[in-house]
Amino acid sequence: MREGQIRIPSGCAISGIINRRGHGFSGSAIINSIALMHERSNGMGGGFAAYGIYPGYAEYYALHIFFESESVKAEMEKNLYASFQIHLAEEIPTRKSRKFKDAPIIWRYFATPLPAALERYDGDEEEFMARFVLRVNSTLRGAYIFSSGKNMGAFKAVGYPEDVGEFYRLDEYKGYLWTAHGRFPTNTPGWWGGAHPFALLDWSVVHNGEISSYDANRRYLEMFDYVCSLQTDTEVITYLFDLLLRKHGLSLRDAILVVAPPLWSRLEELEKNERERIQNLRIVYAGALLNGPFSIILATGNGLLALNDRLKLRSLVAAEDNEYLYVASEEAAIRVVANPQKLWFPAGGEAVLGLLYGKESLYTGGRCFDGGKLENAGI
From the list 2, 3, 10, 12, the catalytic residue is 12
Taking the C-alpha atoms of residue 225 and residue 250, their distance in angstroms, rounded to an integer, is 19
Residue 153 identity (one-letter amino acid): G
DSSP 215-269: HHHHHHHHTTT----SSSTTHHHHHHHIIIIIIS---HHHHHHHHSPPPGGGGGG
- Half-sphere exposure of residue 91, counting CA atoms within 13 Å on the CB side? 8
- Catalytic residue check, 12: yes
Strand partners, 156: 47
First to last CA, the chain: 32
Give the count of beta carbons closer than 10 Å to the beta carbon of residue 134. Answer: 18
Give the count of beta carbons closer than 10 Å to the beta carbon of residue 182. Answer: 32
DSSP 196-219: SPEEETTEEEEEEE--TTHHHHHH
Nearest alpha-carbon partner for 223 in 239, 210, 234, 211: 239
Residue 73 identity (one-letter amino acid): K
DSSP 127-151: HHHHHHHHHHHHHSTTEEEEE--BS
Q: Which residues are catalytic?
A: 12
